[in-house]
Amino acid sequence: MGNADFSGMKQALSESHKQFRKGIEASERVKVQGKFNRAVVCGMGGSALPADLVSLYLAGDFQVSVNRDYSLPNLLGDDIVFIVSYSGNTEETLAAYGEARIAGASVVGFSAGGTLEEWCRRDGVPHVRFPKEAPGFQPRNATGYMFSAMLNVLANCGAIKSREAEMSAVGEYLEGLDLEAKARELAGTLEGTVPIVYASERMGPLARMWKVKLNENCKIMSFWNTFPELNHNEMGGYMSGLKGYSFIILRDPEDHERVRKRMEMTREEIGKLGGKAIVVDMEGPSLLARVFGSALLGDWISYFLAVGKGTDPAPVRIQEDFKKRLLE
């Protein structure tokens, strides 16, 4: 196992705990003046996932809206707009940058170079430059960079209190985790099935992240949904049969007690109808540790599932070919 990892994703996962410190360092002096009550984060794919986690983490303290589109939502005068593209060349995100500039919004760019960095320099817009990684490194593996940099910029602007200590603690926590044996076991359970990832509404961003990694790393179909909404519609589809599907239920200790009951009842129902259902309990000393520890477990599962079937987890050729055709 591992011979198919021609792009070095295993090393990227093993060193992901270092990204928090590097993201903080990259954004150390980046800020804009103003009083902000909301951040609108524009990004696509792996560059949008960290913004979902920022929104989850800051819920109740500061509003974060994630925009996955060419056009911006209606901006308010107290918004700060983050334009996030790891490559710096994502066309939807660059279009949103143009709209934000025309609207006169306070803008910060985040990328590892590319057109976005060039435009920020041209326009005098603050920019966070992520470290350049080895060829083959994928934006979906840069969550720690982007998450920590966005939080740090918000703190620099005075929108939130500094979270540097919490982020450093999470990096240390992840460094001490050994998830490979558990991930191999769970990958074996998922092999040959269509994985569907469930979580509470609050932890929906994490379920989405697992689904994305399964799609892109394993090159398989995968889906996600949240409790309690899925009990009002999606489970109706169970009646057509669950053979060939596996369900991963991400359970957080702070989930609502009624949601936890729904999770257990749904797991039992899936089993009765012939499906595979696995409950994964989120563990860690803090919310941030539970979220990033569980995210890393999902990364390792998708990694082992990919290389176990001889698939290099890093390349996303169908997406890259699609982007090229869009330019024709």
- pLDDT tens digit at each of 328 positions of the chain: 447 888 889 999 999 999 999 999 999 999 999 999 999 999 999 999 999 999 999 999 999 999 999 999 899 999 999 999 999 999 999 999 999 999 999 999 999 999 999 999 999 999 999 987 766 688 899 999 999 999 999 999 999 999 999 999 999 999 999 999 999 999 999 999 999 999 999 999 999 999 999 999 999 999 999 999 999 999 999 999 999 999 999 999 999 999 999 999 999 999 999 999 999 999 999 999 999 999 999 999 999 999 999 999 998 999 989 988 998 8
Q: Does 293 fall in a domain?
A: yes
Q: Does 314 fall in a domain?
A: no
CA distances from 62 to 58, 127, 207, 291 (A): 6, 22, 22, 18
Tell me: do 125 and 58 sit in the same domain.
yes
Task: Report the CATH number at residue 214.
Answer: 3.40.50.10490
Q: Does 59 fall in a domain?
A: yes
Q: Does 327 fall in a domain?
A: no
Q: Does 42 fall in a domain?
A: yes
Tell me: do 29 and 83 sit in the same domain.
yes
Q: Does 135 fall in a domain?
A: yes
Tell me: do 162 and 227 sit in the same domain.
no
Tell me: do 290 and 206 sit in the same domain.
yes
Q: Does 4 fall in a domain?
A: no
Tell me: do 165 and 199 sit in the same domain.
no
Tell me: do 220 and 74 sit in the same domain.
no
> Domain range spanning residue 97?
9-174
256 contacts 222 by C-beta, under 8 angstroms: no
Tell me: do 267 and 299 sit in the same domain.
yes
Tell me: do 196 and 263 sit in the same domain.
yes
**Overall domain count for the chain:** 2
Q: Does 63 fall in a domain?
A: yes
User: 0.75 cut: is pTM over it?
Assistant: yes
Tell me: do 126 and 201 sit in the same domain.
no
